[in-house]
Amino acid sequence: MTLGSKSYDWLRFIVVYTLARLGLLLALVLFGAFTGAVLFPSLVTFLPYSMVGVKNFLTQPNVGSVIGTVVICLFLIWVFFDDGRKHTAYEEWSMTTILTVLILVGMFYYIPAIFRDSFSAEGKGEIFYKVLYYPAGWVISVLGGDYMTGVLGSMLLLMGTALVTYVVSYKMYVKKHPVLLSGRNVGTVCDDAESDEEEQPENAE
């Protein structure tokens, strides 16, 4: 396989994987917003009246945002742990690949926040931003209302969770199947040897 073909396959994998995980993130944000803003408060209403103080606390918007974030992180852990395991098993694991994908996903998720102040966020626009950045609500509150930094912090938390999970999955799988790691090292040595052999005729000329 030529170097150009390998580069094309890697680029195609990056594009497909990025789109898939960006779509997953948006779906999880919607589900997290539904869980934190609708489902969780509905469940809290079943608490006895004697726990009214607890009910009032649990129905605060920031608490719902935290719940939404936890739900999203749990799903990200599940998905990226499986990704890390599969990519390791098929020898597709790469720190460069996962970092590239997560940076792109985080960038695309963050971009709308940049344009939030360019128009009056009312009506549908306000709903759009509240839902899209629902997990960032509690971070924004902790930072004293700094919207851009809050969204960035929330995004880094989500992407960081995915990255850590992916790396842990890789290390756990390699620990159980050490032959994969030795196989990768042998493959690297062979590739280097092939490259040296290709360069030798050129140098002879």
For 103-122, b where at least 16 C-beta lie within 10 A, e where not — what string? ebbbeebbeebeebeeeeee
Q: Residue 146's pLDDT is what? A: 93
Residue 84 and residue 142: Cα distance in Å, rounded?
A: 33
> 64 vs 9, 18, 57, 110, 122, CA distance in Å?
42, 28, 10, 21, 22
Q: In the 8-state DSSP scheme, what is residue 49?
A: G
Stated pTM of the model = 0.81
Is the pLDDT assigned to residue 4 strictly greater than 80?
no
From 40, 17, 200, select the one nearest 101 (Cα to Cα): 17
Q: Residue 186's pLDDT is what? A: 40
pLDDT in tens, 148-179: 999 999 999 999 999 999 999 999 998 887 76
Q: In the 8-state DSSP scheme, what is residue 134?
A: G
* Residue of higher predicted confidence among 204 and 108: 108
Domain boundaries, the chain: 3-176
Q: Where do runs of H (alpha helix) occur along the chain? A: 3-34, 40-44, 52-58, 61-89, 95-114, 124-132, 137-142, 147-176, 178-204
> 74 vs 28, 103, 161, CA distance in Å?
10, 20, 9
**What are the contacts of 153-156 at 24+ separation with CB within 8 A?**
154/69, 155/106, 155/109, 155/110, 156/106
Q: What is the mean pLDDT of the chain?
A: 84
Choose the weakest-confidence range: 10-14, 105-109, 196-200. Answer: 196-200
Per DSSP, the residues of 136-176 read: GHHHHHHTTS-HHHHHHHHHHHHHHHHHHHHHHHHHHHHHH
The average pLDDT across 40-56 equals: 82
From 162, 156, 15, select the one nearest 79 (Cα to Cα): 162
Give the rounded percent of residues in the chain with a pLDDT score beyond 90: 56
Give yes or no for a contact between 62 and 143, defined as CB atoms under 8 angstroms apart. Answer: no
